[in-house]
Amino acid sequence: MTALPDWMRPPRAEGWFAEDLDRLPEAPRHTELIDGALVFMMSPQRSWHGRLVTGLTTALVAVAPAGVEIEREMTIRLDARNRPEPDLLATTAPYDPDRTWFAPEDIRLVVEVVSPESAHRDRTVKLRKYAEAGIPHYWCVEDEDGSPAVHVYELDGPTGAYAPAGIFRGALHRPVPFDITLDLTRLVPPRENLHDDAAGN
């Protein structure tokens, strides 16, 4: 069995804390902390995932009002033992070039684009943890044969849990957390175009 490198050993008996992520230069670029355990993104990223995140980032930046910043692949310090890294977030915190994480009270929207490796965390673990942290809006984006389907959730105040607010295909219009209208068909090239190109060659 290959020995673990020293940096992968928790610095204390209680495991890892949120601030430890800023002291792990050897860790993979996309490292999260979930319930005190390090979670690494080790599988190759699909082109569809990367293109969709880029397309959503550009689209949300275009419609975000003054005072709202759109960030991608930045961690949120939910509590001492949880610091997940969503694909996108909308925040009221001002831009700080040296920032490495955001506080949940400054987050208005979190977006996770589901991949095979992250599916369980995105659909269950993060759904619960973002709600418990009080983040008001959560989008979970699924791949439906190459087309994005956005599962939208809103925080229900009395229960402190997310309530489903719709599944959007083709187009999305939401009045919260700010006025958002998106043409989902333009975020990634349609899969049928790829088949047509291959047939024509």
| pLDDT for residue 26 | 82
Alpha helices in the chain (DSSP H): 47-63, 119-120, 126-132, 191-200
Tokens 């975020």 map to which residue? 187
| pLDDT for residue 1 | 55
Extract the residue ranges of the chain whose pLDDT is less than 70.
1-2, 42-43, 192-201
| Type of residue at 43 | S
90: closest CA among 52, 150, 137, 126? 137
Tokens 């991949």 map to which residue? 115
Q: How far apart are CA 104 and CA 91, in angstroms?
A: 9
Domain coordinates in residue numbering, the chain: 47-195
| pLDDT for residue 200 | 52
| pLDDT for residue 132 | 97
| pLDDT for residue 111 | 98
pLDDT in tens, 80-112: 999 999 999 999 999 999 999 999 999 999 999
| pLDDT for residue 47 | 92
User: How is domain 47-195 classified at the CATH fold level?
Assistant: tt1808, chain A (3.90.1570)
CA 159 to chain centre: 23
165: closest CA among 179, 151, 180, 184? 151
Report the SS3 class of residue 132. Answer: helix
| pLDDT for residue 198 | 47
| pLDDT for residue 10 | 82
| pLDDT for residue 113 | 97
